[in-house]
Amino acid sequence: CNYTAQMNGTSAAAPMVSGVAALMLEANPKLTYRDVKYILATTARQIHPDQPDVRHPDDGGQVLVPGWTKNAAGHAFSNWYGFGLVDATAAVTKAADFKTLPPLVDSGWKKTTPDDSVDIGGKSAPARIAIDLKEAAERIESVQ
């Protein structure tokens, strides 16, 4: 039953992670989608911990894809493995008595579309939003 030769990657991972999420919700039906994402990320097991950086062979060894790095919240993350291997036992155990995350706070930033523009010196320029990443990095949960 060597199914991984024909079905692998996200095609195989999505139904498995969905099943773990269902078990988490069975253990604690009050979980929100944010709670599920948080629990999965914080209980995942790092795999291939010595994953090397992928470097450009001709461009002075510039890093194209970093190995494991820590995000602003201090969690190890890989572009290849995300937060790592889903640990169903750890996730369901943590979900059982998990207190829901506090609600999101809307930043109040102006929503723009590609057609929005501002007048700068008589010329139209695309609208932009400036974010102080140093201050906001610990609080940003998502950006669209």
pLDDT for position 57? 85
Is residue 95, in this structure, part of any structural domain at all?
A: yes
Rounded distance between C-alpha atoms, residue 130 and residue 40, angstroms: 31
| Domain span including residue 39 | 3-105
pLDDT tens profile 31-69: 999 999 999 999 999 998 898 888 888 877 888 888 899
Is residue 75, in this structure, part of any structural domain at all?
A: yes
Rounded distance between C-alpha atoms, residue 46 and residue 81, angstroms: 8
Is residue 93, in this structure, part of any structural domain at all?
A: yes
Is residue 51, in this structure, part of any structural domain at all?
A: yes
Round the average pLDDT of the chain to a whole number and report it.
81
- What is the number of domains present in the chain? 1
pLDDT for position 102? 87
Buried b (16+ CB within 10 A) or exposed e, 75-101: ebbbeebebbebebebbbebbeebeee
pTM recorded for the entire structure:
0.70
Is residue 129, in this structure, part of any structural domain at all?
A: no
